[in-house]
Structure 1
């Protein structure tokens, strides 16, 4: 039986609403995830997804007990979900301001607007203010509808977790192979998927983090392209990155971010090195 004042239970024994302790442990990851997702959501190439992975990596790095991640740590859920929600909202910015879709969903939305004779860009705010503000209001309404729909259906999602892993795992592999084959009707694509799956399994055994690999895979080509463009504009002078205020500020922020990521690791190493047996 549930005691008075406690959150209600759902199927599987879990609680529907977070407890006070859950709020205490998750409000900081929520703020960090929101900020990180809002920044990465503007970037092209699926910024919302990048924000979720980056938030999980940050929370795991700064956690006092990172071994809890993967075992139900609420920080590993609150941060990435906040980053994903923030990135989904800010991905509208480059499309509405510059006319550049930041991901596939925004590309479809831009195509739909062009079909109706609306050219995505800064002129939309002046020429079609009802469309612009309607999109903003739809974000709030959409989040409200997600809350209304997901709360009654949370029991169904929890029951999906009761599916035995021996049945769930081969089903996921089967659908992945079917999806890959259906793109080009090529068996080579399926074999390539299997090869990358084995490579991922090797990375897991070597305890490599998948998030940095994904970030590098998506952002690496963009960084190389813009680096070549900057070198052409500066006639091969690499000091252009430290002589311009904007680029210098971004470089300093990157160095500070790397330093913040390394501080917990250094502290843990010092604690082990100077601890007495």
Structure 2
């Protein structure tokens, strides 16, 4: 508890709060750009922290990471282009809401959900780190395989109304995941002699291809009829009481599942 209070007092120092604010602003601005991601944002802004105090630099980079992860949701909702890999799922619900004129509500609820999930994750991580480390160190190949199978089954069964299509997409995703070097013997798999495929397929270009390319093609096909002209005002961003009620438990479930798998 003493270490937690020391860390909290350090984080609440004026220079650290300002560094965090600057990091969140810059990270959000970079995260809106599809395809860059949080790690690239940290890499771009890392030289800025060289002249800072180490603690202040870490706080700023943490702000950059959270800002980039949140900023990626803006492109997912408005453009159907995931800014970061974690925002790919936001395209499934956020962009249809934007097409119906509810882009403001989607952006607002994403902000609240990001804050709630991030806050719960930080509290759980701070309180349960010693126990989590022991459990994580005990994980072996069997446990990892069980989690992977569980994820596959979960995606295939709850991902939509047609389980067959879900299983096909899961199998296709697993097949794409095998591209690159084998982690055990270093053998190349499905690289077809191309050095660009040795490191495997990154999730960002794959997600951008699945969501963004289809959106670009449909925009070209439909022309002006597909362009959204809804203006986003502060009033339009406020959810209704029914939307708050429907979103409360999904926020908590998302935070709980994120803490578990994270």
- TM-score with structure 1 setting the length: 0.43
Structure possessing the higher radius of gyration over alpha carbons: 1
Task: Answer 1 or 2: higher relative contact order, Cα 8 Å, separation at least 6.
Answer: 2
